[in-house]
Structure 1
Amino acid sequence: MIDLKACPLWLYRLLPFLRWWPSVNSDTLKADAVAALTGAMVVLPQAVAFATIAGLPPEYGLYAAMVPAVIGALWGSSWHLVSGPTTAISIVVFASISPLAEPSSAHYIGLVLTLTLLTGLIQLGMGVARLGVLVNFISHTVIIGFTAGAALLIASSQIKNFFGLAIPRGAHFHEVLIHFGTHILDINLWVMVVGIATLASGILARRYLKKLPYMIVAMVVGSLVAAFLNARYGVEQTGIKTVGALVASFPPFSVPEFSLAAIKQTLFPATIIAILALTEAVAIARSVAIKSDQRIDSNQEFIGQGLSNIAGSFFSGYASSGSFNRSGVNYASGAKTPLAAALSAVFLLLIVMLVAPLAAYLPVPAMAAILFIVAYGLIDFHHMGEIIKRHKRERIVLAITFIGTLVDLEKGIFLGILVSLMFYLYRTSRPSIRQLVPLASEADNPRRKFIEADSESPTCPQMAVLSVEGSIFFGAVEYVQQQFRNIDETNPQKKHLLLTSRAIGFVDLAGAELLAKEAARRRKMGGGLYLVGVQPDLTEMLHRSKQVDTVGADQIFQHKGDALRAVYPRLDNEICRTCTARIFHECNVALPDGTPRASA
């Protein structure tokens, strides 16, 4: 028997499931089995719907929920994350591959498998390179905008099935709307009746029958309505088509297309899907981990997601990610270990064996109605409203991502990320610089308590006290330099600058050179630059850049009191004699040359 507690660290990294495997016992196994069964029942209609979105035969959605779920659970870091097909990934797959091949054709499936393999390899490479931190740079606003845009694309892709219209394959969003508007009189009423019945029953079941899976309720109602209409009027007259029986089998072994043309065609979409899927998976894992009090290793999740997609591509699965619905259900159902996610794949296979023949009665317009409900649920109206009302820049990011996704789904999310990063860089390039003054009520108090100055605050005519909050790096140098120069340009007597540095987060070589140049410039003016509360990182950078001598070691202080006691004697005695501000404690005791104040 191997003592798992004595395993070396490298073995834990290679086989991360060894960390939680010793905690599996009869109690956790029972809880995991219940959660797995619940998750399998939830994913069955979802997987069929997602495969339809992706332009694949329905069973491929089920395959994507089997092997990837097992691999993702064993090699990921989350206890509750369940991998499988998702709406966003499905729509990207369809948008990427449908212009290249006929959906559901052998060539289309081969390209999708290649896309999935490349996605997994990119994710695995990012995980091995420990690039998990990159997902932190994709803002929540970008995800909301992209998801809302993808939701409308899902809905538009099902208009033809819901209304029984012949809309050209691969039509863009605006083209679908134009075609629908110009062919509204060609709507097949029989098909639309089935769609409306399914849509209404799904909405009502979701609202009033919360204990039942609303998708299954809607599918049953739609199937019964379609069966009645076909039996009474005939399929030739109604034109109501069905999905067809599902293939009930273990995910068959498959081989992606390895041709150079296939790789070239799918490499860019694979990069998009890899980033989107990782963002989705890590975000879901973290949100569930907050409830379960677990720490998530983003790099390990990258590896787990990468391996799950690589394995999925050889077992007829298309690109997968963490599923929010399944992960939430998994946690809420009482799952104790990742074994629940792995068992859900086993239960799903057993359920498929039982219900696969029933899919022959599932009408296509009913599936379209289900996808309308799914698309509506993707749009986060609450957060979109908050962003539009309260956040000007985020409003722009949201709009650009949303519209960009509708125009070109593959590039829409990259455009949103780019704009979001531009705003981030703009904010970081303009650190907060505030002028400080001592509390007026404590002018005679040796303790140095400072507040932000306002338009009515008296200030020292010879020295400015500034607080810098943020980083002084190459992108912020010009802005910070201009703020420093504004002090003496508006008031030439202010030759001294005291800089509180505790809130300076990061200083690079350019930032250190800026401080050195400012110190030299102020010395030429007859004043000086004084740094207070310098953090270790700033001190280290000044030494590494050899700028500490230029700044002056005697100009660096730990506390404001020490700095003011050292700087005050350097001020102009005559200016201080006639000054009425007297905002510092020293001002009320003596002049800079030591002459006592008459009032002292």
Structure 2
Amino acid sequence: MNLKNIIPILSWLPNYKKKWFKGDVVAGITVGVMLVPQGIAYAMIAGLPPIYGLYAALIPPLVYTIFGTSRNISVGPVAMDSIIVASGVAALATVGTSQFITLAILLGFIVGFIQLLFGLFRIGFLVNFISKPVISGFTSGAALIIALSQIKYILGVQVGSVQGIGELLMALFREIKNTNVFNLLVGIIAIVILVLFKKYLKKVPAPLVVVFLGIILVKILGLHTYGVSVVGNIPQGLPEFTVPSFDYNTIIELLPLALTLAVIGFTEAFSIGKSLEKREDNSKISANKEFTALGLSNMIGAFFLSFVATSSFSRSAVNNNAGANTQLATIFATIVVAFTLLFLTPVFYFLPKAVIAAIIIVAVIGLFDYKTPVLLWKYDKKDAVILFVTFLITITFGIKEGILTGVVLSIVMVIYNSTKPHMATLGHIPGTNMYRNVDRFEDLEIDEEVLIIRFDSQLNFTNSSYFEDTIIEKVRQKGVKLKLVIINADSLNNVDSSGVHVIKDILLFLKNKNIELYFTGLIGPVRDALFKSELMSEIKFENCFLSVQAAVNAFENKKNSKEIGGENFKYVKQTNS
């Protein structure tokens, strides 16, 4: 057993170079400074006290450092997962209660356990069922829900637990008359500063700036006495080892939510890791190892009061841009978090909740994807519909429901597309050996005796009937002069038993009409299937060619030989000689 394959840190740490140290320190401190206010903010999104966000920013990143395969990923609490936790756990317990906290921590353990199983059994391919339109749809929906859910902190009003964007907007509208002007001003100023810094001072940690400005303003001006809501007491010290409360019935209730979070969390981490990997030749991310790393991060984190953690795109991008060379940068980031937990939590007593809400709103607005639906509507309306439906279900019923709907729609669309794959009738480009789709190209030569069909898919049980029906219909359209059907199999990569059966039926149909059948471009796996099924003996090997032109030439030679002499061809030729 190679431990380096199981524990990736054993691969890069012994080969660590001194020149990397400065970049890792700078990147780590920069990300750590971001993690503190984000951890507090995302815990509040999840319906948890702020301290639990710092716990999630401490333990899971350390575990990922040991088992992760990406040197750029920054693991910790994120906005999207936090709101899924809030909406899912709120169905089982009241937000803010000890039971809610207990369930949120147990949920983190279950998520980690599922991710670990996916990694160990090498089933990372399951995330392929979440397509880009689905991700875009629920990301935009989640961003909108998260942003709107923070408006109550900007306004300084109380809004109870609501379901869907409609109820949320109505609740905000009812409470708008109770807006606290000072609270509103703090929130607006924070948003303006964050936006300006994001545009003009990208290297400055804007969230940290508004956090300390907010604390100073509230403390000096006494804004909390004017109704400005503040975070209040945050416990000091590192998290203690605590065994999650395991209860069979509770685990069963949390399982669907955990499965959703497990797949979403991995999808976020893996997609971020892959996007950063493209920029670095020496960084290769492994899907199954990432599942394992995230699983262990969440499982171990749950024993130290952490809720669900995964990779953050904003922090990962900052980590990469700040010069991180290895996961050692993450260790320095967690040192910043640990220092905050040990010595700085009293500082955050006067932190306005409106400032945290501003940080969240500005962060998640960047997640709202308006470009993808516009592009999809131009070139793939089916995917655009999936995106819009996922978005609408997400904002109406919830993120979990939106993702499930999107995945189901994607699978249905894949099945539908596989039942009716693309088939093209080909014509000859004059003066060349090339053949192209008659529906796409003009001035093609079309022989009335020859029908050339290209099938752009694998031939299996889902599309075999369509394949047969289409060929029979095209043969009938061609008329009585048709002598040869050529199936261009360049794009045919697999044939199952249903496909073999259909080819036999087509052979019989054409034979009864005295029409020959040729194949071109058969690749190895398809030839193997035809030989093993003994279908090749019926097709005949001499009727298989490397190219369409070779098949046409063979047909012309055969036709000419029959026209010259047919049965007496050899005798006539001998006489003339």
Q: Same fold (TM over 0.5)?
A: yes
For residue 387 of structure 2, what is the aligned residue in structure 1? 398
1:449 corresponds to 2:438: no
Q: Which moved more, 1:388-397 or 1:319-328?
A: 388-397
Q: Which moved more, 1:43-52 or 1:334-343?
A: 334-343
How many pairs were matched up? 565
Q: State how far apart, in whole Å, the 1-side matches of 2:501 and 2:285 are.
A: 39
Are the aligned partners of 1:194 and 1:225 in contact in 2 as well (CA < 8 Å)?
no
Other structure's SS at 2:279 match: helix
Query: Given residue 49 of structure 2, which amino acid in structure 1 is its aligned partner?
Result: P
Q: State how far apart, in whole Å, the 1-side matches of 2:566 and 2:232 are.
A: 93
Matches within 5 A, 1:165-184: 165-184=157-176
1:360 corresponds to 2:345: no
The alpha-carbon deviation at position 187 of structure 1 amounts to 2.3
Which residue, 395, 417, 427 being the options, matches 1:437?
427
Q: State how far apart, in whole Å, the 2-side matches of 1:348 and 1:119 are.
A: 23
For residue 251 of structure 1, what is the aligned residue in structure 2? 239
1:306 corresponds to 2:295: yes
For residue 407 of structure 2, what is the aligned residue in structure 1? 417
Are the aligned partners of 1:194 and 1:226 in contact in 2 as well (CA < 8 Å)?
no
Distance 1:519 1:389, change over 3 A: closer
Are the aligned partners of 1:568 and 1:592 in contact in 2 as well (CA < 8 Å)?
no
Which residue, 190, 206, 215 being the options, matches 2:182?
190
Are the aligned partners of 1:12 and 1:19 in contact in 2 as well (CA < 8 Å)?
yes
Other structure's SS at 1:464 match: strand
For residue 546 of structure 2, what is the aligned residue in structure 1? 558
Matches within 5 A, 1:58-69: 58-69=50-61
1:155 corresponds to 2:147: yes
Which residue, 41, 66, 69 being the options, matches 1:49?
41
Q: State how far apart, in whole Å, the 1-side matches of 2:483 and 2:54 are.
A: 73
For residue 464 of structure 2, what is the aligned residue in structure 1? 477
Q: State how far apart, in whole Å, the 2-side matches of 1:537 and 1:239 are.
A: 73
Q: State how far apart, in whole Å, the 2-side matches of 1:259 and 1:457 are.
A: 71
Query: Given residue 326 of structure 1, which amino acid in structure 2 is its aligned partner?
Result: R
Which residue, 478, 497, 510 being the options, matches 1:522?
510
Other structure's SS at 1:24 match: coil
Other structure's SS at 1:470 match: coil
Q: Which moved more, 1:474-483 or 1:433-442?
A: 433-442
Query: Given residue 310 of structure 2, which amino acid in structure 1 is its aligned partner?
Result: S
Q: State how far apart, in whole Å, the 2-side matches of 1:543 and 1:323 are.
A: 52
The unaligned stretches of length 5 or more in structure 2 are: none
Matches within 5 A, 1:499-518: 499-518=487-506
For residue 145 of structure 1, what is the aligned residue in structure 2? 137
For residue 71 of structure 1, what is the aligned residue in structure 2? 63
Q: CA RMSD in A?
A: 2.5
Are the aligned partners of 1:99 and 1:170 in contact in 2 as well (CA < 8 Å)?
no
**CA-to-aligned-CA distance 1:186-234 (integer Å, 9 cap, x gap):** 3232322222222222223323333321112223343444446645xx7
Other structure's SS at 1:434 match: strand
1:341 corresponds to 2:333: no
The unaligned stretches of length 5 or more in structure 1 are: 1-7, 443-447, 578-589
Q: Which moved more, 1:179-188 or 1:312-321?
A: 179-188
Q: Percent of aligned pairs with the same residue?
A: 28
Q: State how far apart, in whole Å, the 2-side matches of 1:452 and 1:17 are.
A: 53
Query: Given residue 285 of structure 1, which amino acid in structure 2 is its aligned partner?
Result: G
Are the aligned partners of 2:429 and 2:444 in contact in 1 as well (CA < 8 Å)?
no
Q: State how far apart, in whole Å, the 2-side matches of 1:531 and 1:366 are.
A: 69
**CA-to-aligned-CA distance 1:128-179 (integer Å, 9 cap, x gap):** 1111222233222211111111111112222322212232224432111112
Q: State how far apart, in whole Å, the 2-side matches of 1:196 and 1:110 are.
A: 34
Query: Given residue 405 of structure 2, which amino acid in structure 1 is its aligned partner?
Result: L
Q: State how far apart, in whole Å, the 1-side matches of 2:326 and 2:465 are.
A: 53
Q: State how far apart, in whole Å, the 2-side matches of 1:145 and 1:224 are.
A: 39
Q: State how far apart, in whole Å, the 2-side matches of 1:466 and 1:88 are.
A: 48
For residue 475 of structure 2, what is the aligned residue in structure 1? 488
Query: What's the TM-score, normalizing by structure 2?
Result: 0.92
Q: Which moved more, 1:373-382 or 1:66-75?
A: 373-382
Q: State how far apart, in whole Å, the 1-side matches of 2:469 and 2:565 are.
A: 32
The alpha-carbon deviation at position 505 of structure 1 amounts to 2.5
The alpha-carbon deviation at position 22 of structure 1 amounts to 2.1
1:26 corresponds to 2:27: no
Are the aligned partners of 2:79 and 2:360 in contact in 1 as well (CA < 8 Å)?
no
Query: Given residue 560 of structure 1, which amino acid in structure 2 is its aligned partner?
Result: V
Query: Given residue 515 of structure 1, which amino acid in structure 2 is its aligned partner?
Result: I
Matches within 5 A, 1:196-275: 196-227=188-219, 230=222, 235=225, 238-275=226-263
Q: State how far apart, in whole Å, the 2-side matches of 1:155 and 1:366 are.
A: 13
Query: Given residue 437 of structure 2, which amino acid in structure 1 is its aligned partner?
Result: E
Q: State how far apart, in whole Å, the 2-side matches of 1:49 and 1:452 are.
A: 57
Are the aligned partners of 2:483 and 2:516 in contact in 1 as well (CA < 8 Å)?
yes
Distance 1:335 1:370, change over 3 A: closer
The alpha-carbon deviation at position 592 of structure 1 amounts to 8.1
Are the aligned partners of 1:59 and 1:247 in contact in 2 as well (CA < 8 Å)?
yes
For residue 329 of structure 1, what is the aligned residue in structure 2? 318
Which residue, 255, 275, 286 being the options, matches 1:287?
275
Q: State how far apart, in whole Å, the 2-side matches of 1:251 and 1:26 are.
A: 32
Other structure's SS at 2:431 match: helix
The alpha-carbon deviation at position 124 of structure 1 amounts to 0.8
For residue 549 of structure 1, what is the aligned residue in structure 2? 537
Q: State how far apart, in whole Å, the 2-side matches of 1:508 and 1:254 are.
A: 54
The alpha-carbon deviation at position 565 of structure 1 amounts to 4.0
Other structure's SS at 1:466 match: strand
Are the aligned partners of 1:202 and 1:215 in contact in 2 as well (CA < 8 Å)?
yes
Are the aligned partners of 1:91 and 1:154 in contact in 2 as well (CA < 8 Å)?
yes
Q: Which moved more, 1:198-207 or 1:493-502?
A: 198-207
1:86 corresponds to 2:78: yes
Are the aligned partners of 2:159 and 2:175 in contact in 1 as well (CA < 8 Å)?
no
